[in-house]
Structure 1
Amino acid sequence: MKRPFLTLAALAFLAAPLAAAERAVSLPPPAYDPAPMASGPQKLVVAGGCFWGVQGVFQHVKGVTRAVSGYAGGSEKTAHYDLVSQGDTGHAESVEVTYDPKAVSLGKLMQVYFSVVHDPTQLNRQGPDEGTQYRSAIFVATPEQEKAARDYIAQLSSAKTFEKPIVTKLELLARFYPAEAYHQDYLIQHPRAPYIVYNDLPKIENLKKLFPEIYREAPASTSLSP
């Protein structure tokens, strides 16, 4: 299902004070936060609903140098928005986050992902968007990423930090496919679009509120730049 670009609720929201469309949750940091196995920039691919908001949040995290909207979980021939939107390609709308591990850790990024980026208890949907392409998923590329994600989910589940079970899937990353150019930096380019105002700008405000130590006012540079 393609997400709606205009809704009555979103239009009404333009005249209302900024408030989260979904409640952010203050979470403890991961007990297991491994050091990177290699030096230099690291990458993490996550999915949590519409990639516009996911990309937008991570672009406001200190230490993130690049965030690209795209697709993961399916084949190259179906990595196109019109096909992914049908919900049967295996792809999820995803974001590839490139970060400096000296400035922000994998564990901190996962803490942001579970507390601000999306609601990890929603199965195959986020907010107004429904379908497997909007699933909650972490596409793990290394054993360290898999252990960090699995351990953190177990930690949060054991502490009963959410009222419902966490449904986030851990999937092996085969390949990440960047989305079409018009999807990149969508939140930056269209900050007053009703969908962005209602669903995504509150996520940025929640990041600023819950993680002031890593919040950056100016977003990371254009996603597809070197």
Structure 2
Amino acid sequence: MTTSTALLLADLVGVAVFAASGASAAVAKRLDLFGVVFVGFVAALGGGIVRDLVVDQAPPLAFADWRYAATAVVASAVVFRLHPQFARLRTTVLVLDAAGLALFTVTGTLRALDAQVPPVGACLVGMLTGIGGGLGRDLLTGEIPVVLRREIYAVAALIGAATVVALDGLDRTGPVPLTVAAALVFGLRLVALRRHWSAPLPTFRPPRPNGHPPPS
């Protein structure tokens, strides 16, 4: 299997996983079939569209290659049809989202490197590819985007993107090393959810009874 074929397959798997994540979130919000498919479509392809626009690929693959849109629509429709079998939609959404984050981060970083984007820029493109779909999904379903909460999300994508860049620098971009990089993002995200890891929050001091702020 060539590198381009493996990258395409990983991209399509990521599309299907993120579409299922978005569709599951839409089902939980009681949207109709069109709403479920639309949210799944945005969740699946939003990050890839951002990636392609950043690396100056026009039109984006989501519009240029019918397989991307078809995969997103079919995966969303399957979730809509089979959603009664998902006993715990929230858990399903979180696991699928972690898998999509991992796959899209890896493929987004690789495509940025292929477009001759410098290492730091490639890390940022990979992160944006990973978080873009989840951001669109959360906005459409009326949730505060995960990336803006204190959960470890964008940080996991950034670590995964940096790992891919490091592997590329060592000329280790075969299926096994890239699978390890994706597993790192996936595992870090799930462990962070399990152990409630979070980024620091600002500390607010309650106002004094007389209305004046406390002395510094």
Structure-2-length-normalised TM-score: 0.31
Q: Higher strand share goes to which structure? A: 1
Larger relative contact order (C-alpha < 8 A, sep ≥ 6)?
1
Structure-1-length-normalised TM-score: 0.30
Q: Which has the larger radius of gyration?
A: 2
Q: Higher helix share goes to which structure? A: 2
